[in-house]
Amino acid sequence: MTDVEDDAVDNAIERLVERYPTLARDHIDVIVREELAKLDSSHVRDFIPVLVERAASDRLHEEAEPVRLSSTGEGPVLIGGSSGPDPIEVQRRSEGHSEPTLGNSGGA
């Protein structure tokens, strides 16, 4: 794994820790590392962090409801069955990324 890929995976872990605050950080790290190991033999590495974060989020969602910080700053809000934009996409856009992640058209 490259340093850039390693940093991207670490950032994904941070976002998932914020998104799933009821789950232990160590548990989230284990899930992410398991998903990363599944893609270890991939030759094209550009999308590995995105794919790992998405797969880990899907698994974590089975264990706990995700939350996000409200736009008013009044604390966490359950995402649940929200039909709004994907929180990962919102985070990426706030970091200056204009293109949606693989498999997402940018939210509703």
Q: Is pTM, for the whole model, over 0.75? A: no
pLDDT tens digits, 40-91: 888 888 889 999 999 999 999 999 888 865 555 555 555 555 445 566 666 6
Nearest to 58 by CA among 25, 7, 16: 16
To 10 degrees, what angle do helices 25-38 and 48-61 make? 130
Q: How confident is the model at residue 107 (pLDDT cuts 50, 70, 90)?
A: very low
Q: What angle, 0 to 180 degrees and rounded to 10, lies between the N-to-C axes of helices 87-94 and 48-61?
A: 140
Contact of 20 with 28, CB cutoff 8 Å: yes
